[in-house]
Amino acid sequence: MEKSKLLTAYRKMRTIRDFEERMHVEFATGGVPGFVHLYVGQEACAVGVCSQLEGNDTLLGTHRGHGHALAKGVDARRLLFEIFGRAEGLCGGNAGSCHVHDSSVRYIGANSGVGSGAAIACGVALAAKTRSDGAVAVPLIGEGAANQGVVLEAMNLASVWKLPVVFVFENNGYAEATGSDWAIAGGELWGRAAAFDMPGVAVEGHDFFAVSEAAAELIDRARKESRPAVLELRQKRFYGHFEGDAQTYRGDGEVDYLRSERDCLTIFTDRVIAEDWLTKEELAVIDEEVTTLIADIYEEVKEAALPAESRLFDNVYASPY
């Protein structure tokens, strides 16, 4: 992979990590409205997938979407403002953490029922195909959401309509407080791909290189052949389902193990240094820049203006009502 791509990937993973770790602290001290689902531990998933996307490809995120958005290139500041319900937020404060959306970078936010992005992605890809613009659509789907009927329907539809969609299942061990292996008959999602006549691959989600290689192949095929595929990424989240989750359903020492053995940032860093692809100094520069960015935007957000009251009535309809 080109050096600039590696630097970008690292910057994104680091930004997500710091953004979320700080969010964890802020949530605990109050001031973050609504439910917040952190992406810590899964950074290599979205960043690995996005490393293979072109500018006109679309990523569809989930409720655990801060990392998805940042990986696709959403501005961290306006993302944060949205999460805090401020006027300058990406959606003017109408979306919040779970539904952040940024059409300027082709990032579609989570929508209602989990898994629904799978079907929306089919339409995004259909439009791309109709225009022959060579773009693919990549819905991220939690492994729990994979059991929603619409996801399974969408897999069949994408195959029947021959759409360039890569269904990426983020298997992070849990759906809320329920274990993945229990809720998924057979325990494996990539294996469902065959049922809908498409290739399916599973890789470790904490390894940026494994993710990006698998994604490269499937996305490339989708783009060239206009056919769907499945990519399952396996990596547990480090925090709870949402902030405030006591996580007593976890096994003893699980988070410690994850943090010490399966931290995608450590694994990435060790590898790029060992292979001489990047230097410690290069990474340190990024770390510092990110630290500053996060500190700045978290400071700024608390003073940021709230949406004007009139916004309540805006954007119900796009044309006259």
Please tell me whether residue 122 binds Mg ion under the rule CB under 5 A: no
Please tell me whether residue 109 binds ligand TPP under the rule CB under 6 A: no
Cα–Cα distance for residue pair 15/91, rounded to 1 Å: 21
Residue 145, binding choice from a second copy, Mg ion, ligand TPP, none, Cβ under 5 to 8 Å by partner class: ligand TPP
Structure tokens at 194: 């065959």
Cα–Cα distance for residue pair 285/301, rounded to 1 Å: 24
Q: Whole-number minimum distance, CB 315 to another protein, in Å? A: 4
Which one of 44-52, 60-68, 217-225, 227-235 is the stretch in contact with ligand TPP (CB under 6 A)? 60-68
Cα–Cα distance for residue pair 293/307, rounded to 1 Å: 23
DSSP helix/strand/coil, 98: helix
- Of 172, 212, 226, 235, the one binding Mg ion by CB under 5 A: 172
Residue 196, binding choice from ligand TPP, a second copy, another protein, none, Cβ under 5 to 8 Å by partner class: a second copy
Structure tokens at 29: 């001290």
Residues numbered 153-192 forming contacts with a second copy, rule: CB under 8 A: 153, 155-156, 159-160, 182-187, 191-192
Whether the CB-CB separation of 234 and 205 falls below 8 Å is answered with: yes
- Of 67, 96, 139, 142, the one binding ligand TPP by CB under 6 A: 142
Please tell me whether residue 196 binds a second copy under the rule CB under 8 A: yes
Q: What are phi and psi of 194, to 5 degrees?
A: -60, -35
Q: Whole-number minimum distance, CB 156 to another protein, in Å? A: 6
Please tell me whether residue 142 binds Mg ion under the rule CB under 5 A: yes
Nearer to ligand TPP, 45 or 294 (CB): 45
Q: Whole-number minimum distance, CB 288 to another protein, in Å? A: 33
Q: Whole-number minimum distance, CB 208 to another protein, in Å? A: 27
Q: What are phi and psi of 58, to 5 degrees?
A: -115, 135
Whether the CB-CB separation of 226 and 165 falls below 8 Å is answered with: no
Q: How many angstroms separate the first and last alpha carbons of the chain?
A: 51
